Chain A
Amino acid sequence: MATVMARGLRKTFRVADKQPGLAGTLRHLVHRRWRSVQAVREVSFSIEAGEVVGFLGPNGAGKTTTLKLLSGLIHPSGGELAVAGHRPFRRERAFLESITLVMGQKQQLIWDLPPLDSLRVNAAVYGIPEREARRRIAELAEMLELGEELTRPVRKLSLGQRMKAELMAALLHRPQMLFLDEPTLGLDINAQARVRQFLADYNRRTGATVLLTSHYMADITALCPRVLLIHEGRLFHDGALAELSERLAPWRQVRLELARPLSAAQLAPYGEIEALEGCEVRLAIPRERLTATITRLLAQLPVLDLEVSDPPIEELIGRLFRQGSLEPAPR
């Protein structure tokens, strides 16, 4: 059975509408007008045990809402949802012991004390025996390369060290389901890479299921064979990252080096010109006509060198996040 099973998942918020100013406030008190906001609309997907899935979408697309639905922090407005065999919003003990939520911009560690104290609190809360807790702390510390940092007050740790300690606190009870919301937010490149490496190791060692959101495409490309892309509350894509780039950009880039300069008019029949500078040309050519077009190019033009590439996924997703538009990029 799938670890996560969502069918027709919906979440609608009721938001009070208030006009600014005193008159608006008074009217608001007497007669409230409500507006509903559909944060998640009819989303269906399932995740098998042990999978690492990336969760993508522009800000406000419904990612965090979905994570909160999955972890049981909010009630769904409709649809079916089962996580680790439980209905999350009931927040039963067995369910809570089998999941964890890491939020990159929030922290659970006690600010003034060393992480070790927070870890001991969590051990007590989750009912982990003293000796077992010590063993797990040692194991996680080794994986995360944390040592004497564990006995230094949290406020004196660097952002990267703090995030690693947060991960320890979140994983001490050996959850089988990890929800990670921007776990690398604000970290420098090295720290990002280390957290990424740890998550991959952890997944391999424990077989835990991981669902993660991130603004850094490197996290997604390195960790997630499969991505879910959500936009305006709807599931737009569920599958491999490569397939996503195909959907977002159904063309390929072809870079040419010519023996002599050609005019735009001469090049136009082969594809759309993205750049033209002397003998250097970059063309965008639809995928389905790629082979035929290259054959013609090589036969009809003075080509010295030719290189075919995918448009970089970072660029596509970045553009997606910036524009908030999911129309395939115009060509």
Chain B
Amino acid sequence: MAMPVAPVLRYLRTLRRFWGTALATQLEYQLNALIELLAMAGNLAGSLLLLWLFHRQGVALGGWSWNAVLVVLGAYTFLDGLTSTLLRPNLSRIVNHVQEGTLDFVLLKPIDSQFWLSLRTISPAGLPEMGLGVVLMLWAARRELGALPPAPLLAAAVLLLAAAVILYALWFVLAATSIWFVKTWNATEVLRAALTAGRYPVSAYPAGLRLLFTLVLPVAFLTTVPAEALLGRLTPLTALTSLLLACGALVISRAFWAFALRFYTSASS
């Protein structure tokens, strides 16, 4: 991308300040961080328990082995951590900005408003979960394959990034609808509930749900595809689809925000 260096540096410096202040705020609530950590451990233990309940009945979910299923769970854990670290703390505020009118301040800053709204704060309590997700993916893949060749590793990293972008775009578009509907928080709860389906490989679902999770809600691209990449089972076509989907989702989220702002800036009094 041909981008002048100075603005990029300014955005980076801004980001440092954003997250520096965010960390300072959160230090006031250490207890919250501890609870977050315990909840994370509990959730992971519960997910493992559930997988084991299938396993002990001799069920291979969608034909995936125990270790392969753990790779999917690792990808889910990573994205769940990302949600707690960046998506939830930032995007849930858009509603407040609209309700309290402080979106005006954001719009009057000489900085991209989507950048501000998406990355304004960071919640470090979710970082261990992201790390744990990656470790689980690598550990389980290694046990499944015996070794981790660099090519699938790279492919998995890229596709996990694509998954993060898709997830972000979904959340952002939903959160941006708060320009029209004040209470969109419940809608994001629906999204969050539906995305828990990503804990398991998409082939473990009946045909109807599999279609739904691939075409309507891209759950398959969030967790199953990166896991397949790491396990070296991915077809190039799927990888390409995932990348195109990520680019498309990002473009759509920007266009949608511009569209939503047109309503905000012409309708508010």
Contacts and interface: CB of A to CB of B under 8 A. Distances in A.
Contacts of B104: 68, 71, 73, 101, 103, 106
A185 interface: no
A97 interface: yes
A265 interface: no
Nearest to A170: B105
A291 interface: no
B235 interface: no
Contacts of B56: none
Interface string B9-42: 0100110111011001100100000000000000
A118 B21 contact: yes
Contact of A101 (B20, B108, B265, B269): B108
A121 B17 contact: yes
A78 interface: no
Contacts of B109: 96, 122, 125-126
Contact of B10 (A64, A100, A124): A124
B110 to A, nearest CB: 4
Contact of B105 (A64, A106, A112, A123): A106
Nearest to B102: A106
Interface residues of B, number: 26
Contact of A106 (B10, B13, B25, B101): B101
A72 B108 contact: yes
Interface string B227-269: 0000000000000000000000000000000000000011111
B49 interface: no
A195 interface: no
Contacts of B108: 71-73, 91, 96, 99-101
A13 interface: yes
Interface string A89-107: 1010100110111010011
A122 B110 CA distance: 10
B17 A120 contact: yes
Nearest to A72: B108
Nearest to B14: A124
A281 to B, nearest CB: 48
B110 A124 contact: no
A75 interface: yes
Nearest to A169: B105
B59 interface: no
Interface string A67-93: 010011111000000000000010101
B111 interface: yes
A108 B14 contact: no
B14 A73 contact: no
Interface in A110-166: 110, 112-113, 117-118, 120-127
Contacts of B194: none
Interface string A50-79: 000000000000001100100111110000
A39 interface: yes
Nearest to A39: B269
A97 B110 contact: yes
B145 interface: no
A284 B30 CA distance: 69
Contacts of A96: 108-110
Contacts of A126: 109-110
Contact of B265 (A74, A97, A113, A122): A74
Instruction: Specify which of A65, A123, A124, A126 lies most central, judged by the most chain B CB atoms within 10 Å of its CB.
Output: A124
B107 interface: yes
B100 interface: yes
Interface in A182-205: none
Contacts of B10: 124, 127
Contacts of A110: 21, 25
Contacts of A75: 265-266
12 contacts: A68-B268, A97-B110, A101-B104, A103-B104, A106-B101, A107-B102, A113-B25, A121-B17, A124-B10, A124-B13, A124-B18, A125-B111
Given A110-B21, A121-B18, A124-B14, 7 more contacts: A72-B108, A106-B104, A108-B102, A110-B25, A113-B21, A124-B17, A125-B111
Interface of B: 10, 13-14, 16-18, 20-21, 24-25, 28, 100-102, 104-105, 107-111, 265-269
Interface of A: 13-14, 39, 64-65, 68, 71-75, 89, 91, 93, 96-97, 99-101, 103, 106-108, 110, 112-113, 117-118, 120-127
